[in-house]
Amino acid sequence: MAILRVKDVSKRFGGLKALTDVNLNVEENSVHAIIGPNGAGKSTLLNCLVGKLMPDTGSVLFNNNSVLGLEPFQINQMGISRVFQTPEIFGELTVMENMLIPIFAMRDGAFRMHAYETIANEREVVEQAEAMLEEMNMADKREMNAASLSRGDKRRLEIGMCLSQNPRLLLLDEPTAGMARADTNNTIDLLKQIKDERDITIAIIEHDMHVVFSLAERITVLAQGTPLVEDTPENIRGNPKVREAYLGETAA
């Protein structure tokens, strides 16, 4: 069953057609990669899924509910978590606080005036956050300011924050962009581990073919705002159309 259905989505910016009739189904508990050359419309598509942009036409259904016209926080509350290209974390807060916030958001919803309680007394939330930090191997960094973490650790933290909400769908926007090889491999291992251990659907936008082919079960190739082909990694590798549009020498 498809957990995310994108149907005939089009988006124009003035005279520029960013997306034209995009149709895409992401199957539940799969890892689906969306690739394409620069300017293919990958980021525009992602922004249409999370409420940042409103498509001109078409529909986006998550779990058979439309997400169009909803605010990002409402879409998150439906079970979609997003990891950004540059890690978006609460830099001035400690690692522990970064982990507490999404768990509070899950428990209490989009707003709650819990101004008189003390965080330390919220045992359950604190325990969940500690467990998640443990799982991310970051327990020793819990009192550090998140801004002072290394790039790879920031990414780990951001992924951990998203996972702590037990999302149905995890959206990753070029999660290894600008990373050193070692950090990239760590991130790949982390995502593989997440995929194996959890009931979660992962949709990933990526430039790095190494990452895509190590993780993806299905790949959609976008070119000039429209899906060129959707297939398994093996078939994508051999597809001449894809080579021509995108992979070029990198696949050789």
CB of 236 to another protein, least distance (A): 29
| 122 binds another protein, rule: CB under 8 A | yes
- CA neighbours within 13 Å on the CB side: how many for 156? 25
In 3D space, the residue among 187, 192, 189 whose CA is nearest the CA of residue 177 turns out to be 187
Q: What is the token pair recorded at 18?
A: 């960013």
Q: What is the token pair recorded at 94?
A: 């400690």
| 92 binds another protein, rule: CB under 8 A | yes
Q: Confirm if 228 and 245 have CB atoms less than 8 A apart.
A: yes
Binding mask 46-75 for another protein (x = CB under 8 A): ----x--------------------xxx--
CB of 104 to another protein, least distance (A): 5
Q: Confirm if 177 and 6 have CB atoms less than 8 A apart.
A: no
Sole window of 56-64, 100-108, 212-220, 244-252 interacting with another protein (rule: CB under 8 A): 100-108
Residue from 16, 54, 119, 131 in contact with another protein (CB under 8 A) = 119
Strand partners, 7: 59
Sole window of 58-66, 102-110, 135-143, 174-182 interacting with another protein (rule: CB under 8 A): 102-110
The size of the interface with another protein (CB under 8 A), counted in residues, is 39
Residue from 88, 134, 189, 234 in contact with another protein (CB under 8 A) = 88
DSSP class of 148: G
Q: Confirm if 95 and 133 have CB atoms less than 8 A apart.
A: yes
Strand duo 31-35 + 201-205: pairing: parallel
Sole window of 1-9, 27-35, 117-125, 201-209 interacting with another protein (rule: CB under 8 A): 117-125
| 81 binds another protein, rule: CB under 8 A | yes
| 123 binds another protein, rule: CB under 8 A | no
- Per residue, what are the HEC states of 19-68? EEEEEEEEECCCEEEEECCCCCCHHHHHHHHCCCCCCCEEEEEECCEECC
Q: What is the token pair recorded at 251?
A: 């696949």
Q: Confirm if 32 and 26 have CB atoms less than 8 A apart.
A: yes
| 97 binds another protein, rule: CB under 8 A | yes
Q: What is the dihedral angle through the alpha carbons of 165, 218, 251, 172, rounded to the nearest 10 degrees?
A: -20
Binding mask 130-169 for another protein (x = CB under 8 A): -------------------------------x---x----
| 110 binds another protein, rule: CB under 8 A | yes
CB of 123 to another protein, least distance (A): 13
Residue from 15, 116, 124, 249 in contact with another protein (CB under 8 A) = 116
Q: Give the residues lining the site for another protein (CB under 8 A).
A: 50, 71-73, 76-77, 81-82, 84, 88-93, 97, 100-102, 104-106, 108-122, 161, 165
